[in-house]
Amino acid sequence: MANLTRRNDTGRGLSPWRDFFDTDFFGSGFPQTRSSLPAVNLSENENSYNVEVVAPGYQKGDFKLKVNDDVLTISAESKNERTEGGDGREYSRREYTCSSFTRSFQLPDNAKDDGISAKYNEGILQVTIPKTEKETRASKEINIE
C-alpha cells in the first residue's frame, strides 16, 4: 500500500486571514470558515487496494471519481439551505452551507485502472482498486453504487 500516495492537491498557501477566521470571534452563532479533508483509510490485500473515505453528510450523487494517467481523484460537493420561519415575527433566517473536498492518489503500477469500483454506504465511500500483473492505463469516470 506504500505505492498509493497522496498528491499535494491543496495548491493553497497560508492566508493572512487564517488566524482571524479560525477563532470563534463572533461566538457560536456564526459558522466557521474552517475547511477539512475527510479521513481516508488505505488497505491492501492480495487482490486489491482499498480506499475508504469517511465523508458523512454527503449523498451518493455528490461524489465524482475519476482516473487519469494513473491518478485517482475523489471529489465531492454538497450544498444545503436551511430556512426557519419567524414564529409570528417579521423575520426569517436563511443559512447556506457549502462543503467540498478533492483528494488525489497516485496509483501503483500494478493497479488495474479500468476495473475500479466504488460504493457509498452510511457515510463511507469504499473504493476498490483491483491488482493486475500487467500494467494498464485508463481514463474514465467511476460510477458509485
Q: What is the pLDDT of residues 9-30, one digit of tens each?
A: 444 555 554 444 444 444 444 4
129: Cβ contacts below 8 Å, ≥ 6 apart: 4, 48, 49, 50, 51, 72, 107, 111, 112, 115, 116
| Domain extent at residue 123 | 5-24+33-83+92-142
- pLDDT at residue 87, as a whole number: 58
Q: State the average pLDDT over residues 55-84.
A: 87
Instruction: Name the residue with higher pLDDT: 3 or 54.
Output: 54
**Mean confidence (pLDDT) of the chain:** 76
Contact (Cβ atoms closer than 8 angstroms) between residue 103 and residue 40: yes
Q: What is the pLDDT of residues 103-123, one digit of tens each?
A: 999 998 899 988 999 999 999
CATH number of the domain enclosing 48? 2.60.40.790
Report the percentage of the chain scoring pLDDT > 70: 62
Give residue 144's pLDDT band: very low, low, confident or very high (50, 70, 90).
Answer: confident
pTM of the predicted protein model: 0.63
Q: Domain total for the chain?
A: 1
